[in-house]
Structure formats: C-alpha cells, structure tokens
C-alpha cells in the first residue's frame, strides 16, 4: 500500500512537472522582423550603395572601352576580308591572322576583366555590408532580450513560407539603431 502511495505521488509529481514545463514553453514569445528592410534603412547602407555604384560604374566603363576596342578590330578585320583579292591574298591573310590573334587576346582580357570586376564588387559589397549586418544583428539581439522573446524570425528570408501572428520587432530594432521607424527602405537597385 505504501508503495502504491509513493508510486501515485511520483506520477502526480511527474504530471505537475510536465504541465509546468508545457506552461513555461507556451508562454515563450515569438516575433518576426524584416531584416532586409532594416539594413536598407540604415545610413551606412545608403553610403555603401553609393560606393558600390561608383565602383560598378567604373568597372562597366573599363569593360565598355575594351569592347569598343574589340569592335574596332573586328571592323578592321571585316574590311580587310572584304578587300581581299588574288593580288593581295598573302598579305591580307597574314594581316587577318594577326587581327584574329589580337581579337582572341582582347576577348580573353574582356572575360578576365569581367570575372575580376565581379570578384571586386562582391569583395567590396562584403566589406561594406558585413559591418551593417553585424550592427543590425546586435540591435535585434538586444531588443529580443529586452522584450523577452524566445524566437524571432526573419520574414525577408525565403526560408519562411508562411507566418501569422507573433510581434513585428522591425520598428523596435530601427528605433534601437536610431532610424526613424517610419522611414521606408531604399529600393534595391540592380
């Protein structure tokens, strides 16, 4: 009988602990944030965007100049081929072969410059955006802790196919960063 009482008390204690744990978990707060909107609202992002545009414009100009040189050589080769005759066949063929080599070299340089330009842009973007990302993450962590949130989801991520409910912490994080909560983000330019 005593053994049954102890078993019964143990079962009641287990159920009580189980429900207390479930109640504690049920009270955890869940929120969401639009991380991309916050990043785009920062003054640092606007500055970074300008620097990236300047770099991109410079790289684009370099590539356009190289392509113009390619087109000039291509036109020269086409003109020589059109004016080729039996009388100048050997000379023109040698010139066309030389121009063909030059065109392949220019094409190779264009492709290499495109690759390097993209790497430079990616590196600069990482250099400029990473500190902004860290700053926003830190503000999000602080707001989440201050307000007692257990989970905060980023709704700008494509990994969240559906959400409803929870609290939107976007404005609170913007406020923590000193950004006007009503400030609209700068549209991403491509």
Tens-place pLDDT, residues 47-73: 999 999 999 999 999 999 999 999 999
Q: Residue 87's pLDDT band (boundaries 50, 70, 90)?
A: confident
- The alpha carbon of 58 is separated from its chain's Cα centroid by a whole number of angstroms, namely 21
Q: What is the pLDDT of residue 102?
A: 95
Q: Residue 157's pLDDT band (boundaries 50, 70, 90)?
A: confident
Q: Residue 148's pLDDT band (boundaries 50, 70, 90)?
A: very high
186 or 105, greater pLDDT: 105
Q: What is the pLDDT of residue 4?
A: 52
CA distance 17 to 98: 86
Percent pLDDT > 90 in the chain is 54
Q: Residue 98's pLDDT band (boundaries 50, 70, 90)?
A: very high
160 or 23, greater pLDDT: 160
Cβ neighbours for 99, distance < 8 A, ≥ 6 positions apart:
73, 76, 77, 80
Query: Does the pLDDT of residue 17 top 50, yes or no?
Result: no
Q: What is the pLDDT of residue 16?
A: 45
Q: What is the pLDDT of residue 166?
A: 76
81 or 120, greater pLDDT: 120
Q: Rg of the Cα trace of the chain?
A: 32
Q: Residue 190's pLDDT band (boundaries 50, 70, 90)?
A: very low
151 or 27, greater pLDDT: 151
Mean of pLDDT over the chain: 83
């Amino acid at each position: 009988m005593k053994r049954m009482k102890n078993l019964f008390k143990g079962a009641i204690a287990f159920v009580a602990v189980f429900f207390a744990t479930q109640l504690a978990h049920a009270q955890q707060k869940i929120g969401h944030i639009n991380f991309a909107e916050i990043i785009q609202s920062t003054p640092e992002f606007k500055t970074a965007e300008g620097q990236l545009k300047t770099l991109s414009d410079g790289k684009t100009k370099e590539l356009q100049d190289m392509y113009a040189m390619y087109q000039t050589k291509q036109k020269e080769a086409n003109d020589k081929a059109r004016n080729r005759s039996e009388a100048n066949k050997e000379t023109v063929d040698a010139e066309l072969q030389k121009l063909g080599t030059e065109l392949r070299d220019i094409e190779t340089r264009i492709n290499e410059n495109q690759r390097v330009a993209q790497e430079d842009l990616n590196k600069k973007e990482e250099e400029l955006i990473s500190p902004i990302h860290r700053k926003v993450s830190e503000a999000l962590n602080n707001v989440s802790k201050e307000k007692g949130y257990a989970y905060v989801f980023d709704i700008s991520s494509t990994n969240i196919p559906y959400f409803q409910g929870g609290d939107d912490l976007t404005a609170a994080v913007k406020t923590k960063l000193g950004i006007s909560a009503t400030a609209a983000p700068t549209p991403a330019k491509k």
